Every structure is written in C-alpha cells, then in structure tokens.
Amino acid sequence: MSSGNALQDLADRIVAKAKPGEQVEAYVSRGGETSIRIYEGEVEHFVSAQSESVGIRVIKDGRTGYAYAGTLDESVLSEVFAEARDNVQFGSVDEWAGLAEPDGVAKVPQELWNEELAHFPTAEKIAIAKELEKLTLATDSRIRIDDANYDDAYGETAFATTSGIRAHGRENGCYVSVGTLADDGDETQTGFGFSVGRTPTEFNLGRAAREAADRATRLLGATKPQSKRTTIVLDPYVTAQFLRVLSGSFSGENVQKGRSFFAERLGESVANPLVTLIDDPTNSLAYSATDIDGEGLAARRNVLIENGVLKQFLHSSYSARRGQTRSTGSAVRTGGTPGVSCLAMQLVPGTGTQEELIAQVSDGVLIQMVQGLHSGVNPISGDFSTGASGLLITNGQVGAPIREFTIASTLQRMLQDVVAIGGDVDWLPMSANGMSLVISDVTMSGA
Amino acid sequence: MSTLSELVGKETIEKVLAKGRSTGAGFSEIFIEDKRSTSAGLDDGRIEQVTTGRDRGAGIRVVHGETTGFAHTADLSEAGLLQAAEAAAVAAKQGSGGVVTVALGGIDTHQVNDVQILPNEVPKTRKVELLERANEAARSIDKAVVQVSAGYGDSVRRILVANSEGVFAADDQVRTLFRVSVVASGDGGMQTGYDSMGRTIGFELFDLYDVEELAAGAARQAVTKLKARPAPSGALPVVIKRGSGGVLFHEACGHGLEADLVGKGASVYRGKVGEMVASSLVTLIDDGTMSGEWGAIGIDDEGHQSQKNTLIENGVLTDYMWDYLRARKENHRQSGNGRRQSYMHLPMVRMTNTFVINGTSEPDDIVKATKNGVYVAKLGGGSVNTASGDFVFGMTEAYLIENGEITEPLREGNLIGNGPQVLRDIDLLGNDFAMGNPGTCGKDGQGVPVGDGQPTLRVKSLTIGGTAA
C-alpha cells in the first residue's frame, strides 16, 4: 500500500516487519536548513545542510527498547531494528508501556508549509540579511553589529505503529535576527532583534533593527541597583521565557512521578484570577504550531489555567494509560519513550499597551532581559532566581537603566502575584507567546 | 567497527578537498565523524529503556576570503562527499577557480586518553545494574526521598579531519557518564538533589568511582534542602568549595577569552593581553591534554593537536584561545580550541578543561576567615554576556557562613557578578585543587563536553539572588 508519501511508506515498511507479540513504532524524519551570517557587509558563513533520522521503538511483554540512526540508508535500518529489539530485554516490565492508538480526533487543518519559502532564491536571502545589518547600523551611531542572520528550516516527519497510527506532516519557517553592541567609552552593552515569518516577505526588518538598537543603547550607563522588594514589568520576550519555565509542571507524567508542584491542585486557585493559560498548537500564529504531536495524534487546544483555576494536566498515551484518562495530544520526542510537554503556550492577553501598564506602577523595574533561567530556577521546588537588566520605573515613568542584579520569588507566588496582563501580544520564535506582564512583590538583589 | 580511513580512502579525501577549492577558494576541509552511543535511563523505579544510536557523516568547509561555505552529508560514498563539497564551494563563492589538486601525507593520531574498557564491548546488563544500584542507594538514605532518576551514557566518537593545507589527523574519543537526580518531599514542599560523574575514559569509570556514593550524595543534598531557608538577597563574601566552582571561571572570563568573540569586539577582555585582569592569586589554564578529563581531546575538530594553554598567569592576561579562522586572520598560532558538536556543525573557538591552579591557603582557614557569608558546595550551570562581562551561575547546594562556621542550608538561587570585578575580588585561594562535574558548554546553539576545576576560594563580594532580607 503506497501513501504517495515516501517517508510514510518507509515508516510503514519498517512496521510491517514486526514479529508476532511485538509492538513497533517507526518515527522517520528528514529536514534541511539554510543559515546565513553577515558581518560587515559580507557573508561570514553560508550553511546548507540536510539531515535525516530514523527511530524505532519496540515493546514486548511490557518492556521497551529503542534505537536510532542519523540516516535513512536502507543498510542501516535493519541494524537499528535489531538494536531496538536487543534493547528490549534490558527494560523493566511496565504495565502501562505501549503505543498510541488512533483516537478519532481529527487534525486541525493548518498552513504549515509555504511554497514561496521552499523556492525562495538564495541571493535574496543573503540580500535580506545584509539589509538588516545596514538598517540596524543606521539606527544609532553608537551601534556596532555582532552578527546579522537569516535562517530557514524545513522538516518532514512520518509515524507508523502496529497499533494503527499512520501520520505524516511537513512544515517550514524562517526568521532573521541581529545582535548588537553599543559602546560608550569602556562600556559595552548588547541587544538583539528578530522577525519571524512563514515566508521572508512577512519580515519586519525595520522593527527588528530598531529593537536591537534600543535594547543595547538604553542600557548604556546602567548601574547596579540597591536590593529591595519591588514590582516587575516583564517585556513580552521575557514573559514567554517565564511561561516556558512553567511548562513541565503541567505534565501529567511529572504529576504521576511526584515532580510537579501542581499535583493535588486540580480545581484549585493556583494563580491570580486574571490568568488564563492555554496550550494551543492548532493556532497557526504560534511559531511552534503543529498538527500532530510526538506520537502522531492530532494536536489540540488544551486549557491549563482558567481565571486562576488549574483545569487539567497534559498527557501522552503513556501518562494517559497510567492516569486512566485520554491523551491530550501533548507527546514530545526527546529520546525513546515520548515525553509530555506544552507545545505552544499562550497566556490570554489582557488590555493595555506596555506604556499603559507602566503608568500604573509607582515604583518598579521594567525587565528587558533575563540571564540564567536554566541555573537559577528549579521547576520542581518552584524556587525562582534569575539575573536581569532593565529600566527603573518611578511614578509610572521609565527612567535610569540598571544591570547586574537578580529578581527572585517562587513560581507558585509569582502566579498569584500577577497584577496586570498587557494586550500587546507578540508571537515569538519560541513555544510560548509573549506580552507585557506585571508581577508584584519580587525581591531584587543588587548592591 | 572499521576505522574512518578504511571507510573513506585517502584518494577520495584528496578529491573532495580539491573539489572544495574548485571555485577558487583558498581553503577546504573535510571532517568525518562516526559516533555510536548507548544510554540507559531509570525513573520511578523502572529501567525505562536502553537506547543505542549511530550518527555518521561528514561536514565540508570551504573558505574563500572572509566567507565560509559549509555543507554536510550522511552519505560517505565518494559521490555523496563530492556533492557536499560542491555545495560548500558554491556557498563560499560563485565562479570558477580552475583545477586544483591536493596531496596528503600520512595520517597523524594523537591519543591523550587511555581507554581500558571500551564501553560498547561491555554487556548492557552491567550498565542497567548500575542504575538499579544507584536507585536503591538514593532511596535508602531517607524516607523523604520520593523520586529518583538515574542515567547512564557512553559514546565512542571517531573523527578524521583533513584540509587543503595538509592537515590529516584522526582521534578516537570515548566518554562515559553517569548522573543521578533525586526529589525529596517534606512539609515545606519538594527539593531536589543532583550529582554526576563523567570522564573521557571507558567503562573503568566505575572501578574508579562508586555510583552508590554518588547517588547517596545526591539524596542527602535533596533531604538537607528540605530544611533550607531562603537564600540572602544582596552582596556578601562567597566561599566556593573545591571542584564545584570551575564554572565561575568558565563564565567570568573563559568565554571572554575566546578569540572569535574578542575579534568582534564582543569581550570585556579585548585589548587586555599583558594587563592585570585578575587578583595576582589567579593562574588560569585551558588544557585539552588532561588525560581522561571530560574536556580532553587528542586533536581538536580542525585536526590541530590539543594543547595546554596558560590564559592568565598570576593575574596577568597572557593569551586568548584560538581556532583556525581567527588565528589565520590575526596571524597567530592555533591553540587546539577549534571544536564542534558534530559533523553537522561549523567549528568555533571553544574551551576544553579550564581550571585555576592551587593557591596556598588551607580550605578550613578560608571559611574561618569569613565572618558572615555564603558557602557554595555545589554549583549549577551559568551564563555570561561577554560584551558587558555580567555573568550568573546557580548554586544547587549552599550554606550560610556565620562567625566563620558553615551553618544552615540555603534554598537555590543564582549569583550574579561582573567578570573583571569578580576576578579582582578573589582574595583567598586554597591548596586543595579538584576537577568538578562533567559539563556541556553551549555556544551559538552547539554543545561540547568541557571540564573545569579549582581549589576552594573566596570572592570578597558577590550578589546573591535570594529572597531573604
């Protein structure tokens, strides 16, 4: 049986070789990327790359084995299958081990593939990155360029399982980014700007250039602030990073394994009533939008927190079986057995521009950048501490730049301490959206 | 497992390098990699699965003037490699430079690591047993231990690098790693503990180190933190235990000494060679030849033999770290720091094993000399803005110092400082040097294994990002 899709056919062929008593999943993908870096008006590097991979999961008598290879070469496929089979014997028996099964949920049609991008001329991609560097340099005489980049990527995936999953999809996307350096005497500060599109014609180069220059220049002369309790206004980019830190706590698997501070809290108030948070990969505006999850099930919209109340956890087929519930289409692939994660987090926007939100803050800090979320935030205990830079807010106005300080609280408290959510939604090249977010009562540590 | 030079012959490599220069480029390079890895994970009391992986391919780099073209392929046939070489050549420059020939001599090998037991020759059962032992050891520490996950990983990475300037070298890099993370639960919520060990050696890692001890340590860390109080907020003296704080130097100055960042004027250390940039106590080394250490390599990923490089000597900046491109541009020697994550990535300047050598103070005296401050027993990751010098690093196990004694445990948080200032503020350096945990250093989207180390030391003022007044 041919599906008319070469990857699907390959996945089907692998699964057809399953022996009696074996559950088998084949996950095959291929993709490519173009990466262009411009420095001082010339191409610094041009990377043109193709890659492919195959992962085979075998489950027998409740034991799981997995193997992968970075090639779809026929001669390697049988070796990968043999390795996965061999690995089965070393897994523990797990009564919930198994593959996803078709659940009748239809894919939400989305435009994830853009033909214009697929055929976009290389010379124009180079020209766009050069234009971004030029525009950024022209914004301010104190600005130098670290690098100006054009990147695009495409990917195709296909799943097949002995349990009847057959799914494939493909998507492409592109973005430009620019890193800036602003100098004043011995001092140097940095900034960045970017623009995302399904096709390069959607880029807003002017905005990327302006933001990259502003972020760097407005920190010039920044000093280290005094330690105190304060209110913070997160820039949309920082809000998106904050949302990502929360992602794992919504995983049903983490709840089952005692790694989520939301465990036992379903139906309870876990955030300020202003907060409604959803995970919706079916929204095409999201950079990480997709129509299938990491097990080939249809991606779907899931409400996580509604008006401050915790509504549900997310599940893969494994955590769903274990929790006697249904998959929420939230499986992700990192290794062999699929994990569970938010795919495209979206905080439902409030109203007001960043200026309007700042006008309500008598004494606080606009957080422009954070540093060290990976080292200072523990999503299991909830301890939150991150390096930051930004601008002081006094009587509703932004003022002097500050740097080399931390902001700290706990994730649990910060959700309750949300005092305003902006209407300034920004769709970022990340798996969460951004908007200005005001949180009270955090500790700022400085001098 | 056949060697790479058997897989791809010298004549093919010469043709590929010539093809890379066929559009007039001055430099072409082929990097071939064959990496086999095995990992096994235990979580929630079960061996979730054993995974084996194979990544094999070649990256071809062509440099024309200031422009680098790069293409990679998983197809190691002569036709596949020539096609990638052509793509890289076209990417670097449109046009024709005529016929070029490249001739290579004999292959060089530089083996700095002594591997006793190749991990891919060890039965998987023995790897799985280690996980079960770690799980039991961690759970036996205290009833408060509610969850344990443990991971085993090994890799055998064979690389071969050749370029149009005659470099033709190969290396086998064998790494073995073990990690444990623990969750403990108490009245005040959950806390975590983590520890890992990894070296550029084979399965004999487990003859040298005890996984049960490692797991017990991670469990004690989590249980101790159940009683932890919020960390202080503000600037205090900080004592960092030996072998736990190398990441401080990695972030405070290591990245800022990478010649690619310096060359773009994106480092606070630009133009500072020969100047005093740190306390005179500080001598900082980057050493890729440190046999068996996590960042040890025979050759770097540009085929240059690994070296021991002194970066800061008695507080004076002596040199930066270099790769091929930056050394060529500035007419400097390469230093063996051109590294890449895999054949799918371009090389750039990276650290190997970065460490500060011993001072003369007794570690106990350093604590006694500190009236009030923070003692950091285990650091987490960190990051740095090399242009401004501001850097952070996390403390995953820390205690208060009160009246010269280590007292109560503290909850987690970041510390923040400015690199050049913190280097000057190191006022006590111990005589108890140790290497730290295996690390993965991220730069421009690529991760490479790095080591770090340092004796117990004191920074007279660092900002601690806690919540306690």
d(CA A324, CA A319): 8
Q: Which of B41, B49, B125 lies at the smallest CB-CB distance from A65?
A: B49
Structural domains present in chain A: 6-216 (3.30.2290.10), 222-447 (no CATH)
Half-sphere exposure of A321 (CA within 13 A, CB side): 10
Give the residues of chain A that fall short of pLDDT 50.
none
Kindly report the CA angle at A255 between A252 and A261, in degrees rounded to 5? 125
Position A60 scores a pLDDT of: 97
Q: State the sign of the Cα–Cα–Cα–Cα dihedral A190, A195, A200, A203.
A: negative
Would you put residue B45 in left (φ > 0), alpha (ψ -120 to 50) or beta? left
**C-alpha radius of gyration, chain B, whole number:** 24
How does DSSP assign B272-318, residue by residue?
-TTSB-S-TT--EEEETT-TTSTT--SB-TTSPBP-EEEEEETTEE-
Q: Which of A50, A91, A386 lies at the smallest CB-CB distance from B49?
A: A91
d(CA A260, CA A379): 8
User: Across the interface, do A87 and B51 touch by the CB < 8 Å criterion?
Assistant: yes
d(CA B355, CA B312): 10
Residue B109 pLDDT exceeds 90: no
Band (pLDDT 50/70/90 cuts) for residue B105 is: confident
Residue intervals in chain B for CATH 3.30.2290.10 = 119-160+169-225
A29 contact residues in B (CB cutoff 8 A): none
A49 contact residues in B (CB cutoff 8 A): 70-72, 344
B413 contact residues in A (CB cutoff 8 A): 376, 383, 385, 406, 408
**Strand A63-69 vs strand A23-39: parallel, antiparallel, or unpaired?**
unpaired
Residue B98 pLDDT exceeds 60: no
Output b/e per residue, B433-469; b: 16+ Cβ within 10 A: bebbbbbebebeebebbbbbbbbbbbbbbbbbbbbbe
Residue B332: count of CB within 10 angstroms of its CB: 13
User: What residue type is B455 in one-letter code?
Assistant: P
Position A50 scores a pLDDT of: 85
- pLDDT per position as a tens digit, B265-303: 999 999 999 999 999 999 999 999 999 999 999 999 999
Residue B94 pLDDT exceeds 60: no
Position B99 scores a pLDDT of: 62
d(CA B206, CA B177): 10
- Locate the chain A residue with the closest alpha carbon to B261: A146
Mutate to test the interface with A, among B390, B410, B411, B421 (most CBs of A within 10 A): B390
- pLDDT per position as a tens digit, B351-361: 999 999 999 99
Report CA-CA distances (Å) from B299 to A57, A314, B108, B303.
36, 46, 10, 5
Q: Does ipTM surpass 0.90 in this model?
A: yes
- Locate the chain A residue with the closest alpha carbon to B65: A44
Instruction: Looking at the complex, report in whole angstroms how far the Cα of residue A313 sits from the nearest Cα belonging to chain B.
Output: 19
A387 contact residues in B (CB cutoff 8 A): 383, 390-392, 414, 416, 465
Residues 6+ apart with CB under 8 A from B222: B144, B145, B182, B183, B184, B191, B192, B193
Report CA-CA distances (Å) from A219 to A104, A137, A148, A366.
53, 17, 21, 12
pLDDT, chain B, mean: 94
Q: Specify the CATH number for B119-160+169-225; select among 3.30.70.920, 3.30.2290.10, 3.90.1150.10, 3.40.50.450.
A: 3.30.2290.10
Q: Report the percentage of chain B scoring pLDDT > 70.
A: 97
Report CA-CA distances (Å) from B227 to A368, A380, B149.
34, 16, 22
Q: Which of A67, A374, A447 lies at the smallest CB-CB distance from B52?
A: A67
Instruction: Looking at the complex, report in whole angstroms how far the Cα of residue A284 sits from the nearest Cα belonging to chain B.
Output: 26
User: What residue type is B156 in one-letter code?
Assistant: V
User: Across the interface, do B383 and A372 touch by the CB < 8 Å criterion?
Assistant: yes
Position B175 scores a pLDDT of: 97
- pLDDT per position as a tens digit, B327-348: 999 999 999 999 999 999 999 9
d(CA B238, CA A91): 44
Residue B103 pLDDT exceeds 80: no
How does DSSP assign A417-433, residue by residue?
TEEEE-S--B--SSSB-
Position A22 scores a pLDDT of: 97
Residue B449 pLDDT exceeds 80: yes
User: Across the interface, do B56 and A381 touch by the CB < 8 Å criterion?
Assistant: no
Residue A312: count of CB within 10 angstroms of its CB: 17
**Does an H or E element contain B34, and which?**
strand B27-43
Band (pLDDT 50/70/90 cuts) for residue B97 is: low
Position A257 scores a pLDDT of: 96
User: Across the interface, do A258 and B53 touch by the CB < 8 Å criterion?
Assistant: no
Band (pLDDT 50/70/90 cuts) for residue B93 is: confident
Report CA-CA distances (Å) from B51 to A76, A336, B447.
16, 7, 20
Instruction: Looking at the complex, report in whole angstroms how far the Cα of residue A230 sits from the nearest Cα belonging to chain B.
Output: 12
Position B100 scores a pLDDT of: 64
Output b/e per residue, A364-393; b: 16+ Cβ within 10 A: bbbbbbbbbbbbbbbbbbbbbbbbbbbbbb
